[in-house]
Chain A
Amino acid sequence: AQKVTQAQTEISVVEKEDVTLDCVYETRDTTYYLFWYKQPPSGELVFLIRRNSFDEQNEISGRYSWNFQKSTSSFNFTITASQVVDSAVYFCALSETTSGTYKYIFGTGTRLKVLA
């Protein structure tokens, strides 16, 4: 069965600190996709990144970076030099491909508070 665990419910950091948000997933499928979304206080979820199970390369986009490790079933997200605008709830999600379920399973989210 699909499952996504975001063990960190809430994290508070001071501006300019680096912060890593953890995501651990479970799947029996060999082909799957992982996603990160950001939900700012305004409420609308914003897509950040998609990664498929065959691509374990880490990705960096500005201050954001993602570390995908199949060996530990983790897809962690790091924000470098955090800013107040990074304050939001971040969701990790998993979607299997070969099982044909066509659904996305979300973690419970991690609320990030960046203090000025």
Chain B
Amino acid sequence: KAGVTQTPRYLIKTRGQQVTLSCSPISGHRSVSWYQQTPGQGLQFLFEYFSETQRNKGNFPGRFSGRQFSNSRSEMNVSTLELGDSALYLCASSSWRRGVNNEQFFGPGTRLTVL
């Protein structure tokens, strides 16, 4: 099976712009989560989608949004970029089923730099 893929791998934007990141989960995985990783804050949970529905959201401002498509692919969008948004954005998928929290498999991440 192919692993989790994320595009693009690297992105450079300027303040005020918006950005869309894409994630393709492992085939058959319907749960997709997004994380922001920065040196000082570790992995911070952004949101999780399952069957096109956002089931949970972390403590991030409304500038961060996401969606999931019927094929389980997911996108996250960040509007009005700020310098502090510079980070590695990780996508993870899992084969969730009720009562069993399976392990997540991570993609290589998208490194976003905001200038």
Contacts and interface: CB of A to CB of B under 8 A. Distances in A.
Interface of A: 31-33, 35, 37, 43-47, 50, 91, 95-97, 101-109
Contact of A102 (B48, B105, B107): B48
Greatest chain B CB density within 10 A among A45, A101, A109 is at A45
B42, B101, B108, B109: most-surrounded residue (chain A CB, <10 A): B101
B101 A95 contact: yes
A41 B19 CA distance: 26
Task: State the 8 A-B residue pairs at the shortest beta-carbon distance, nearest first.
Answer: A108-B42, A45-B106, A95-B101, A106-B43, A33-B101, A47-B103, A102-B55, A103-B56
A46 B108 CA distance: 10
**Would you call the interface of chain B mostly helix, strand, loop, or mixed?**
strand
30 contacts: A31-B99, A32-B101, A35-B104, A37-B106, A44-B106, A44-B107, A44-B108, A44-B109, A45-B90, A45-B92, A45-B106, A47-B103, A47-B106, A50-B102, A91-B42, A95-B101, A97-B100, A101-B56, A102-B31, A102-B50, A103-B45, A103-B58, A104-B33, A104-B45, A104-B101, A105-B45, A106-B35, A106-B42, A106-B43, A109-B43
A102 B32 CA distance: 11
Interface residues of B, number: 27
A103 B54 CA distance: 11
Interface in B84-115: 88, 90, 92, 96, 99-109
Contacts, number: 58
A50 B109 contact: no
Contacts of A31: 99
Given A101-B56, A106-B42, A43 B99 contact: no
A101 B33 CA distance: 12
A58 B104 CA distance: 21
